[in-house]
Structure 1
């Protein structure tokens, strides 16, 4: 009897909480749009629209897909096809199709919104939902990792005493001298793809997101990990972010095919560049900050006027995905890397190739390091080049898997490489010797090797 009473009390409290939460009108921007992005966007976005139905803008949310019924119809639950699919009991018909069904509370929120008239409180019915929903509070990284994470981004702190690495819903911070964990920066998107430290060393920008759902660039105070602001919110991941040389602007590259430029002090968007037709993997500023370069899955690299966003030149000689880009120190040429297993050097004025270097696998982002630059590639090693003439200085072996990211610190003369299997390796740039190697996954314990069966006598 006691258990029954306690259950009833808990149920009443939960019902009161839901009732209280829904006393005010339901906000599409704050309540409904985040549910649609998290539960439905992966199958009903601009790149994949199951049943011809999309939910990436309010205009699309309210429209019909291949069926004649609109997704949502004001004050008409039965005539709202998307809502009908949310409450469908047949798992083959229910939306989301391959995910967990929406909770009773989530369904109640959508139901109340429809009954209230399916009102819109966003800025523009044609604007992407991800561009105006409130920034989410992300969960903390796992206390102990059950598996390793590909190290898709690395960056040294200005004094070289700490190394930042991509984690799961976090950026992990390590001692590059001994591989010990120092701290963890939380409230980060699911996966981190790019890291950039501001020229004054005060801010850390993190390009992150959940594939097919939400992408962001989050700016933190580097010393405390306090979140300053969220910019460049999109319906897919943000792959890269880079502060300009002056530190007052930041550029982002995203899977929605855009390059965006923001004012660092206010987060105000200054330019949106949509010249690419596919994912943009990387972005780079010229040494004088007057130009931007980008690398894309559409097999091109491009250069723009950084103030106006106007396209200046397109380079198409890779003929495969372009994954990395950086300017030559004189600003008149660009280096680009890609899935053609090459880095190519070409002129900004004519997009004319002036040099190239071949690799034994695809080449990922290029890491600038003053007079040097580094390459990470599927060769399972880091290579160091002279930035002026592209001559190779040294190779840094020792990785057992693809090297996905690299970073250089001039003061300590250290080079770091991050691998697909979750390893971080630190080398001395002066002699090429390995300093330390460690698994950048807090608390991870590798599985014990399987015992060999006893030999038969």
Structure 2
């Protein structure tokens, strides 16, 4: 590895040869505004310009002018205007942080001059006194509201993701990383220059995230499942940590610029810090919002394979190839625990949800559970079958492990084996358990990735780490669309038929209900008529006593009038008698008619009562018809809903396939 670094540095060409004398600088500290022309160029002239000038560009680099320095050398830029001194290749070599040191075969540049160079880089590499430093760059994470747990509402799932396959190969490479969302049915699988997202329940390919830097070596979701953190790169070339937003697939942050691959990376609970580790043996912690290096922790003596923040963000753990396992204070970078029980490489680490227990998987064939309060191992699980390559906690405190014996196993919170899954063709390298603890996804050395239900392990479904190109998947989608259209036509016809039957049933029910209501109304009307007739008869009967009394009085008047005639009645008296008798006759006629009317109303009321009974007898049959028609409507409604549901389900499939087709067509174009 050192020889590789040496070659890379040599190609950069920073051979700072020059005089051994130092240039006097300010007695204490660096100037308030450090510039290339006033402060840096004199240092370069003393130590570097002999080999790095316009006439003799060692490694393609000239630094005798500001413009030439900004162009960089044969391997690219050597300083950046973002104020990140640790990312500057120039600083790494002159400060002897990396090899080959500069100037070669000479003492290190004096501390006073190094302070000036550092201040110049941190100040934004200003050219002269009139230059202004650029504002520090922020990425999308700087504007994201932090979330430390289960999100409110539906968990984040992909909506519109890229479908283009960056690399197409006959077979996938060894599986380097598998991640599972903490709250959604979502699985992420690392491939060659890509990350493939699958629906955990259906194994449907949801999208492909490009990872142009190389191969992702680690995939971890943020605590709320909104982001995916990928660490990786290309061996001996470059290593980074990338953060993707799950719903859109957009990369919102790229942190780190390692000179070798990143084996593992993770974000803290608030997405404000990113920790990464790799062959450079340094645990580096960055500000996730602007990429600034916060801590460069040097405890490890070998390649760092595993890095993970505790769920509460208080601690960060790192494990290396020599069995070193260190827990750090995330806020300060101070060492918290040095855990030394493992006898082999630490390949994977995982935190329990409460942040009190850390699990570590090792080449020594064990998974150890560490109590963060006691600072010691509380359980050592002898997995068996050689090196344990992966370990992951679920929300229940269960553990899933992958080992070189081709076995993936599930353990309960006490370290007892619950289940063993179908073996992989070669050594199992990665494993993850879904958010609801119902499925396990795992992959091996051959690139085979599969997902299985915990309830029925023998049934597995393959997941492609390197999916077919968009053109091939487009053909499959078009075939699926053709099949769906064939299914949809009879379903549409059936739905229409059921709707027609439902409309007829509803009409029949409305008619039956109208008839039933009419029957009830007729009964009520008949009852009201009967009551009215009886009331009329009663009122007429109540008039008779007064009429009879009046008739008797009138009769007395008739008798008196007749007696008044005497033996020789005259015409006037006769007329009076006739009038009185006529009144009596009218009263008697009125009494007779009232009696007849009262009896007639009573007879009519009795008839109406009988009619009411006849009408009431028709209500129950009308009710029965309504019940029957309602049952008919219910049956028709159910049949229509079933037909509609079947139609809509297939229509939704067609809509989804149409959406996929559009995405794939866009990817091909």
> Contact conserved, 1:323 with 1:363, CA < 8 A, in 2?
yes
- Partner-residue secondary structure (3-state), 2:14: helix
| Structural mapping, 1:227-238, within 5 Å | 227-238=251-262
Determine the structure 1 residue equivalent to 2:51: 73
Determine the structure 2 residue equivalent to 1:318: 342
Give the Cα separation in 1 of the matches to 2:212 and 2:183: 23
> Contact conserved, 1:335 with 1:346, CA < 8 A, in 2?
yes
* Number of residue pairs matched by the alignment: 357
- Report Cα offsets for 1:209-240 as digits up to 9, x if no partner: 10011000011221222121210221111111
| Structural mapping, 1:364-375, within 5 Å | 364-370=389-395, 371-375=397-401
Asked if residue 169 in structure 1 is aligned to residue 193 in structure 2, the reply is yes
User: How big is the shift at 1:416?
Assistant: 0.5
Asked if residue 127 in structure 1 is aligned to residue 127 in structure 2, the reply is no
Give the Cα separation in 1 of the matches to 2:274 and 2:318: 14
- Report Cα offsets for 1:378-437 as digits up to 9, x if no partner: 1212112223x2222211123111111111113371110011111111111234343412
| Structural mapping, 1:45-194, within 5 Å | 45=5, 49=6, 54-55=9-10, 61-63=14-16, 73-75=51-53, 80=58, 83=59, 110=60, 113=62, 119=69, 122=79, 123=85, 125-127=90-92, 141-142=165-166, 144-157=168-181, 160-194=184-218
1:43/1:116 Cα in 2 relative to 1: closer, same or farther (>3 Å)?
farther
Asked if residue 380 in structure 1 is aligned to residue 406 in structure 2, the reply is yes
Determine the structure 1 residue equivalent to 2:418: 393
Determine the structure 2 residue equivalent to 1:283: 307
Alignment partner for residue 423 of structure 1, among 434, 445, 448? 448
Give the Cα separation in 2 of the matches to 1:71 and 1:317: 52
Normalised by the size of structure 1, how large is the TM-score? 0.68
1:432/1:42 Cα in 2 relative to 1: closer, same or farther (>3 Å)?
same
Give the Cα separation in 1 of the matches to 2:196 and 2:355: 33
User: How big is the shift at 1:167?
Assistant: 0.9
Determine the structure 1 residue equivalent to 2:432: 407
- Report Cα offsets for 1:19-52 as digits up to 9, x if no partner: xxxxxxxxxxxxxxxxxxxxxx98541xxx36xx
User: How big is the shift at 1:313?
Assistant: 1.9
1:337/1:200 Cα in 2 relative to 1: closer, same or farther (>3 Å)?
closer
1:76/1:410 Cα in 2 relative to 1: closer, same or farther (>3 Å)?
closer
1:419/1:44 Cα in 2 relative to 1: closer, same or farther (>3 Å)?
closer
- Report Cα offsets for 1:189-209 as digits up to 9, x if no partner: 211111122223322211011
Give the Cα separation in 2 of the matches to 1:200 and 1:431: 29
> Contact conserved, 1:62 with 1:72, CA < 8 A, in 2?
no
Determine the structure 2 residue equivalent to 1:199: 223
- Report Cα offsets for 1:212-271 as digits up to 9, x if no partner: 110000112212221212102211111112233344433222221122333444444433
Normalised by the size of structure 2, how large is the TM-score? 0.48
Give the Cα separation in 1 of the matches to 2:261 and 2:50: 27
Asked if residue 440 in structure 1 is aligned to residue 468 in structure 2, the reply is no
Give the Cα separation in 1 of the matches to 2:318 and 2:223: 20
Give the Cα separation in 2 of the matches to 1:345 and 1:162: 27
Determine the structure 1 residue equivalent to 2:363: 339
Give the Cα separation in 1 of the matches to 2:327 and 2:219: 21
Relative contact order higher in (CA < 8 Å, ≥ 6 apart): 1
User: How big is the shift at 1:143?
Assistant: 5.1
In the alignment, structure 2 segments of 5+ residues that lack a partner are 18-47, 71-77, 80-84, 99-120, 123-136, 138-163, 473-669
> Contact conserved, 1:415 with 1:429, CA < 8 A, in 2?
yes
- Report Cα offsets for 1:136-161 as digits up to 9, x if no partner: xxxx8545322312121112345644
User: How big is the shift at 1:184?
Assistant: 1.1
- Partner-residue secondary structure (3-state), 1:410: coil
Give the Cα separation in 2 of the matches to 1:74 and 1:155: 47
- Report Cα offsets for 1:255-291 as digits up to 9, x if no partner: 2112233344444443332221221111223343211
- Partner-residue secondary structure (3-state), 1:119: helix
Say which structure is richer in helix: 2
- Partner-residue secondary structure (3-state), 1:256: coil
